[in-house]
Structure 1
């Protein structure tokens, strides 16, 4: 009897183990069925980087472009960071006809700094935008008013943010590229200045959510609804902006740059998102907290996308960016315990490959960072471990409408 009970117990334990293996295999097979296609999509996007346009290079001034560009800079309490931008703009050569600072009634010393620049460079002028209408977001409203106030003799409008540092040849390089390639609109990916440990860890992971979804700067052939843009440097033909009504089609968007560029691309205009690391730097946020709160809440691009695009991209990022490290740890533990099955081994290999790809991309984007002032610069290489948090941040921003933005408060 005792022998029978023992045999029965062994049989039951074997049955339980068998069921556990079946459940494990079903789990991994289902996971692989959705993760493998996502990985294939990612690989196809990244392979396009091999034929992308090279980074924009500094160019010498061209007298044929005299007075071709009006620069517009929107400001609201930018005193702590606008000085390098103003200095960079004063060093632009005769391509720039005027530099209009559209201030939204700053309460700090922003207007004073502009007036100092104006005293040595007559191209500067300071204006205030009218009170913000209820259906507008502050940044596109300021840019729109700067566009309306610009000289009709300028062929191009350059919208540039106060936290950027323009290279002296920024404008002539944009003009050379636009005229050579026939572009109607160019936006640039900058070189990011990072200083503190937390942002060195988080910021590259947030940037990678854009690379995974839209590819690297300089890629060609994107459909209008998948075009990427960066409003920190927005270079557009004046005639084209007039045609689309300035910034009105993006007036209520918290990602107005992408919204406007996609609207313009849909008209058949030739647009480009290029690597501008050699001609433009930016210091966006101070530390990890600001990076998480300020940049993270706009990266979902929900104001420029359909619901299907938003949630499709979120599912894609989860499969290829958020899950690989947790899944690698899980499958490695299963294999180490001796519970090895073919689906587990395939999952281990796939996620190991995704992590290797991610580490390679970290090396590829290194040129997009200025770490000369960084504390704990080595944390940049640990940014893949921030990927789950970065994707979670995209999820949070996808489900929430901003209530404050760049010093303004919005209802709803």
Structure 2
């Protein structure tokens, strides 16, 4: 059989999907849930400061703070910084503070030139903290009672300078359930988990800004969020910065540690990911373009090609069908691992990735527009 461009394409796609499947299988084995620290007396446990930046979070802040204050850890404080909210966030926080002395409420300073909102809020929180360890999270998260024991257990078991975990993603409606759980797919299919912990290379780095746990000493040793003060995707950039500083990073399965509903409906999904995707690639247009072409060729195109090949009775082109079925199998496996990744969305994987590609193109468009990115009522002009 002659090696035509079509055959070469199908063979390359099958090879790429086999690599994704192999990476996912590795992560199914080694992407671990943390184990809670046990056998340590309460008096020997370090003080932990839980730090929450909040801007216009009136819908979620009460549930977040209540879950934090309900944790079964003997020595912690919760500090929430109201980052100049324009809603009732501050009033809700004051009411909660009056009920529990472990909650401290700060009023954020005006954002200085050269900073973005969340890094500035996190930097203020860290400077106000009293704990030996810091847990940085987001105002739309809720936590299980063992969250701090799990974080400390992971830090000590894996001897990691920084611990981060992916959440249990709460999704409602078609588009949320279609697009948001693809974050699990990215982690499992593209990022070999053991390399995050065992290698010093910053391209093998991952973190979720909703769960960053590290010692206060480590935070200030790497210059904290001041090092990523002008980043919209500050969590990814912080994890890469940590590795460049020679620190170790452990990234694990936090689906039994905390939960978050990131966005509500397609409009928020579109706006939220548009804010992050291009900045996560350091605004490197050639790099992101290559990635988008790769995603289209390997995760979107094989399904329609398989149908077209079947209709033309070209059995050798069923390599495209094999590639499609392999990626669907990975997505289905994730639905068994994570409750926030519904199984019904697995066969529709190409539609999900086509949506992501559209959002990424919009992210590029936003970055080059005159107004730049807008988030939480703030505008970040193009650089």
What range describes the TM-score normalised by the shorter chain of this pair?
A: 0.7 to 0.9
Equivalent residue number for residue 272 of structure 2: 294
> Is residue 2:319 matched to residue 1:354?
no
| Structure 1: distance between partners of 2:212 and 2:136 | 5
Distance 1:304 1:55, change over 3 A: farther
Gaps of 5+ in 1: 1-20, 372-376
The CA deviation at 1:252 is 0.8
| Structure 1: distance between partners of 2:245 and 2:141 | 29
Gaps of 5+ in 2: none
| Structure 2: distance between partners of 1:41 and 1:219 | 18
1:120 aligns with one of 99, 110, 115: 99
The CA deviation at 1:100 is 1.0
CA contact (8 A) 1:51 1:219 kept: no
| Structure 1: distance between partners of 2:18 and 2:215 | 37
Equivalent residue number for residue 185 of structure 1: 162
| Structure 2: distance between partners of 1:354 and 1:157 | 43
* Alignment TM-score, normalising by the size of structure 2: 0.87
| Structure 2: distance between partners of 1:31 and 1:365 | 27
Distance 1:404 1:331, change over 3 A: same
| Structure 2: distance between partners of 1:266 and 1:256 | 15
The CA deviation at 1:389 is 2.0
> Is residue 2:376 matched to residue 1:406?
yes
| Structure 1: distance between partners of 2:19 and 2:284 | 20
2:79 aligns with one of 93, 100, 106: 100
Equivalent residue number for residue 203 of structure 1: 180
Distance 1:315 1:381, change over 3 A: closer
CA contact (8 A) 1:314 1:391 kept: yes
Equivalent residue number for residue 298 of structure 2: 320
| Structure 2: distance between partners of 1:78 and 1:295 | 18
Q: Give the SS at the match of 1:72.
A: strand
CA RMSD in angstroms comes to 2.8
| Structure 2: distance between partners of 1:101 and 1:405 | 19
Distance 1:398 1:332, change over 3 A: farther
CA contact (8 A) 1:296 1:397 kept: yes
Distance 1:158 1:190, change over 3 A: same
Distance 1:120 1:110, change over 3 A: same
Question: What count of residue pairs does the alignment treat as equivalent?
Answer: 374
Mapping 1:5-404, distance limit 5 Å: 26-32=4-10, 34-57=12-35, 62=40, 63-64=42-43, 66-151=45-130, 154-205=131-182, 207-215=184-192, 220-221=197-198, 223-300=201-278, 302-304=280-282, 309-335=287-313, 340=314, 345-349=315-319, 351-366=320-335, 367-370=337-340, 379-384=344-349, 385-398=351-364, 400-401=366-367, 402-404=372-374
Farther off after superposition, 266-275 or 323-332: 323-332
CA contact (8 A) 1:67 1:95 kept: no
CA contact (8 A) 2:276 2:363 kept: yes
Report which of the two structures shows the higher radius of gyration computed on alpha carbons. 1
CA contact (8 A) 2:168 2:258 kept: yes
